[in-house]
Amino acid sequence: MEQLLWLPSHADLGVAIGAAKQETDPARRLALAAMLAGYRRDVTLTARLDRLATEGLGDWTTGETLSPQGFTPLRVALLSSHTVDHLVPAIRVAGLHRRLALSVYVAPYGMYRQVLLIDDPQLAAFAPQVVVLALDARDAPLQLSLDASAAEVAAAVEAKVEELRLLWRRARERFAAQVVQQTLAPVDPPLFGSFEALVPAAPYTVTERLNSAIRAAAREDGVLLMDLAWQAAQGSYGSGLGDPVRWHQGKQLVSPNLAPLYGDQLARVLAASVGLSRKCLVLDLDNTLWGGVIGDDGIDGIKLGQGSPTGEAFLAFQRYAALLAQRGIILAVCSKNDLAVAQAAFNHPEMALKRSDIAAFEANWEDKAGNLRRIATTLDIGLDSLVFVDDNPAERDIVRRELPEVAVPELPEDVADYPARVAAAGYFETVSFTADDATRGRNYVLNAERKAAQSQATDMEGYLRGLAMILSATPVGPAELPRATQLINKTNQFNLTTRRYSEAEVQRLASDPRAVALALRLRDKFGDNGLISVVLARPDPNLAPDELLIDTWLMSCRVLGRQVEEAVLGVLVTSAAEVGCRALVGEYRPTPRNSMVAEHYPRLGFSHRQAPEGAEPDASFWHYDLMSSNSAKHFIEVAGP
Amino acid sequence: MTETEILTALTQVFRDVFDDDAILLTEETTAEDVDGWDSQAHILLIVSVEERFGIKFRTAELESLHNVGHFVQLINAKLERR
């Protein structure tokens, strides 16, 4: 079965892998493997890529040595009720494709309860950051007779889910691990046909009830899903899920052929959990958002909207993009067009996308790679946050070659299939959805307006005063936890230490009475920017008892240059004094992405100090005395905590 | 496809699965002779052979696939039945 259809085909991937094997430097081999992982591949080629990446790299896959540069290391324990060993290479390769260096530990098959409940020493030594519970519908069937009542079924389902929640709790308490729960793919044939769902204890009915109970519990407990049941319903796996031959032969739920697809679907959840999902959908215009060429056909000549099947298909794709914007994906336009003509097209009465939905609009006759770079700069996001959708295969090819960081999906011939293709690629996998997400796209648009206002204002002070900014600070509590964790895991640029934490870890830190955990929101005259900054400060065994280490300080780049840092420092000083601290210690850990904050602490009046014991060699440390330091100047009104 | 052609195509499948271009197969080759031919690789081998030749082995047939000769005979029989 064809899979990973959104990835481009390589002329001869087998030969390319063979050539890459000649490379002797392990880091180069890994980089080549990660690059080749971006091509469409079957299980055999995927396994060869895994060998290419891991051979000669020593023990990075077991997490014993430092992970390669440019990749986020993540230790994942796979606890399953069926055989999963054959899926591991594909999970690792899909990880590489998303800049994840995955160490995967597989517990003995069928032992998922035991290893969590008896404190298995091997699992403890591995210290997983993510625990995946890969369960299936055939595992531990509920002890129900076929004529059991609805109430009996409900009780049995509840008991089963309670057991799962106990395992989730164990994983969290023992390892502070993020739990990913696989839903139960219904793979057995029906007993009753269409009547099945009307029989409370029919196997299919029970599996469905279990899945909805699992989903509801996961939502409450901050557990992520690998929703295989949903994928099965979509038919993504064809007959490759629950093939009885593979089950009888080796207790494999997922056929080896479909390992690349499974690996990709799990890896995207893992990548999302450490903030490696994409953020922005960049759209071409002619023959992507409408049929025809606006410059030639004019606003009355393009095909869009009701009346023709083609027009309907383009409209459906626009509607899909508009829905993505509603869930917080930023929209941008990159098109070879005359700017005025392209913008005027948005006045077409049938357009589902409005000009105001587009946060960055690049329409000109320059090359698209340069325009995509400009879009990333305008929006203050990395090129690796962009997904570029263009119907023209030549443009796709050029952008892939010039900007390998940008995701460029292969598209089907028919625009009617575009939404499904973009969705199948899983670029925008997320670990939360909050009210802030729903307004984020709007925020980026407002930001463009703020920038325009800034260029009009003659002096900076006047501009900042005119924004009428209000910063509200609250301790990180249950309400702020999901969004704060999301920000911690995806902020790369304005991030002093780039430490990634799960919700459980943030909660643990925030509940320490001697620590300060702040969630900061900013409003201005243009609207609410939402949660824009998180600061975590805690006592540290290697510092004096009255010093607080600023473990994490990060900020959304969309409020850069507005003296928010100065205002946040003021809040931090007040909060630190309240927990009895006399001095703050700032830490800067350089990464390839965060050079913009290299001077953050000295700029705020911190003085350089020596590194405490156990610090990372390239980290620098900064001292700030609460008593003797002067507060920095800013034009922001502060509310709370 | 002749048995020789099947053996040649099968050799390529083995080389891809075991990532070893030095593999040479004869009808007598068994799991003992190929590095890494364990039970897990065996299943991968079977699905790769199925994809390469566009055939599907029955559950009962899987138990007879212990050496390369059996693979060739079974593939041949299935291709002829088409």
The whole-chain average pLDDT of chain A stands at 91
**What pLDDT is attached to residue A641?**
61
Are the C-beta atoms of residues A83 and A251 closer than 8 Å to each other?
yes
pLDDT at A62 exceeding the cut of 60: no
B28 is in which domain, residue-wise? 3-81
Q: Do A86 and B51 touch (CB under 8 A)?
A: no
> Quick one: average pLDDT of A398-404?
93
Fold of A68-273: Rossmann fold (3.40.50)
**Above 70 in pLDDT, residue A66?**
no
**Of B19, B57, B59, Cβ closest to residue A48:** B19
Domain A464-639: assigned CATH number: 3.40.630.30
pLDDT at position A568 is 95
CA distance B67 to chain A (A): 17
Q: What is the pLDDT of residue A581?
A: 92
Find all residues with CB under 8 Å of A323, minimum gap 6, and list them. Answer: none
Task: Label each residue of A239-267 as H, E or C.
Answer: HHECCHHHHHHHCECECHHHHHHHHHHHH
| pLDDT at A478 exceeding the cut of 90 | no
Would you give the distance in Å from CA A444 to the centre of its chain? 19
Q: Which of B13, B19, B38 to mutate to test the interface with A (most CBs of A within 10 A)?
A: B19
For residue A45, give the chain B residue with the closest CA: B16
Any idea what the Cα angle at residue A117 is, between residues A115 and A120, rounded to 5°? 35
A43/B16 touch (CB, cutoff 8 Å), yes or no: no
CATH number assigned to the domain with residue range A280-424, chosen from the 4 options 3.40.50.10490, 3.30.360.10, 3.40.50.1000, 2.60.120.10:
3.40.50.1000
| Predicted local distance difference test score (pLDDT) of residue A67 | 56
Closest chain B C-alpha to A86 CA, distance in angstroms:
7
**Weakest mean pLDDT among A322-326, A420-424, A633-637:** A633-637
In angstroms, what separates the C-alpha of B47 from chain A's closest C-alpha? Answer: 7
The model's pLDDT over A342-368, given as tens digits with 9 standing for 90+, comes to: 999 999 999 999 999 999 999 998 899
For residue A458, the one-letter residue type is T
> Residues A609, A442: contact at Cβ < 8 Å?
no
Count of domains in chain B? 1
Which pLDDT score is estimated for A156? 94
Q: Determine which of A133-147, A206-220, A443-457 has the lowest per-residue pLDDT on average.
A: A443-457
Residue A492's pLDDT is what? 85
Task: State pLDDT tens for residues A514-564.
Answer: 999 999 999 988 778 889 999 999 999 999 999 999 999 999 877 877 889
> Is-contact A426 A520, C-beta < 8 A?
no
Q: Does the distance separating the beta carbons of B43 and A86 come in below 8 Å? A: yes
Does A2 or A48 have the greater pLDDT score? A48
What is the predicted pLDDT for the residue at A455? 61
Check residue A479 and give its pLDDT: 84
Instruction: Please compute the mean of the pLDDT values over residues A54-75 and round it to a whole number.
Output: 67
Q: Is residue A68's pLDDT more than 70?
A: no
Question: Cα separation of A637 and A469, whole Å?
Answer: 6
| CA neighbor of A274 nearest in space, from A487, A417, A30, A441 | A487
Beta-carbon separation of B51 and A42 below 8 A: yes
User: In the predicted model, is pLDDT for residue A141 greater than 80?
Assistant: no
A245 neighbourhood in chain B, CB within 8 Å: 57-59, 62
Judged by CB atoms closer than 8 Å, whether chains meet at A248 and B57 is answered as: no
ipTM given for this complex: 0.90
Contacts B47 to A, Cβ<8 Å: 43, 246, 255-257
Mean pLDDT in residue range A100-104: 93
| pLDDT given for residue A459 in this prediction | 66
Contact A387, A427 (CB under 8 A): yes
Q: Residue A352, SS3? A: coil
DSSP states of B31-51 = GGGSTT--HHHHHHHHHHHHH
User: Residues in chain A whose beta carbon is closer than 8 A to a beta carbon of chain B?
Assistant: 14, 18, 42-45, 47-48, 51, 85-86, 244-246, 248-250, 252, 255-257
Task: Say if the Cβ atoms of B47 and A42 lie within 8 Å.
Answer: no
pTM of the predicted model as reported, rounded to 2 decimal places? 0.77
Phi/psi at A550 (nearest 5 deg)? -80, 90
* Shortest CA gap A82–chain B (Å): 13
How many angstroms separate the first and last alpha carbons of chain A?
56
Strand partners, A334: A362
Checking if the pLDDT of A58 tops 70, the result is no
> Considering only alpha carbons, which residue of chain B is nearest residue A240?
B47
Sites in chain B below the pLDDT cut of 50? none
Count of residues in chain A: 641
What the block records as the tokens of A418 is: 């575009």
Nearest CA-CA distance, residue A404 and chain B, Å:
27
Cβ-based contacts under 8 A for chains A and B: 43
Using a CB-CB cut-off of 8 Å, the residues of chain A touching B39 are 250
In a 10 Å sphere around its CB, with 0-12 CB exposed, 13-18 middle and 19+ buried, how is residue B73 labelled? middle
Q: What percent of chain A has pLDDT over 90?
A: 72
User: How far away is chain A from the Cα of B28, in angstroms, using its nearest Cα?
Assistant: 24
Mean predicted confidence (pLDDT) in A235-253: 91
Of A47, A51, A256, Cβ closest to residue B43:
A256
In chain A, which residues have their Cβ closer than 8 Å to the Cβ of B43? Answer: 86, 246, 249-250, 252, 256
Distance from CA of A503 to the nearest CA of B (A): 37
In this prediction, residue A490 carries a pLDDT of: 83
8 Å CB contact of B43 and A47: no
